[in-house]
Amino acid sequence: MSAIVLYFSRTGENYVSGAILNLSKGNTEIAAELIQNLTGADLFRIEPEVPYSSNYSECIEQAKNDQKREARPALRTYPDHLEQYDTIYLGYPNYWGTMPMPVFALLEHVDFSGKRIKPFCTHEGSGLGRSEQDIKRLCPHADVRPGLAIQGAKVASAEKEIQKWIAK
C-alpha cells in the first residue's frame, strides 16, 4: 500500500495553550512528519501562492475573510501522480471550524476517487470541527475515514496517539 501525506501548515505567530508563540515549524507539519516517519509515506506541503501573514491576528482575519468569500487560493504547486497512492493522509490546522481554504482548493482540483483519505488536524480546543463532512462533500467518491484531532500544544508528544489512529 502506497501513501502520501498532504498537509497545510504555517510558521510564525500561532495560538498555543492560551498564548501567542512564534513557531519556526508549524504544528501540522510536525504531525505530518511524525506520520511520514511511522508509515514511510511521501510528503507534500500544500502552499498558497500568497501565504497567510506570519502575524497571528492578521492571519486569522485573512483566513476568516477567505472562508466568508469561499475563496479558493491558487496553490504554488499541486501533487503529481496521485494515482500511485492508495492512502492520503490529509493534514491541516482547524481554521474557523474547518480546513483552511488552500486545502479546499486542493480537494477541488484533484480527483480523489477511490482513495482512502485519513484526515488529521491540529487545534487548540476546536477539534476537527466540520472538516470531515467538508471532505466527504468535496470528495464524494473517496473513502473518508475518521479523522484525528491533535491539540497543537501537544503535537510533539502525540506519537502514540498517531500510531493508534494509523492502525485503525
| CATH topology for the 3-21+29-126+140-167 domain | Rossmann fold (3.40.50)
- Furthest CA-CA distance within the chain: 41
Whether residue 154 contacts residue 125, with contact meaning beta carbons closer than 8 Å, is answered with: no
Q: Where are the domains of the chain?
A: 3-21+29-126+140-167
- State the Cα–Cα distance between residues 3 and 11, nearest whole angstrom: 25
Specify whether the CB–CB gap between 120 and 132 falls below 8 A.
no
0.85 exceeded by pTM = yes
Q: What is the pLDDT along the chain (168 residues), one digit of tens a residue?
A: 699 999 999 999 988 888 899 999 999 999 999 999 999 999 999 999 999 999 999 999 999 999 999 999 999 999 988 999 999 999 999 998 999 999 999 999 999 999 999 999 999 989 999 999 999 999 999 999 999 999 999 999 999 999 999 998
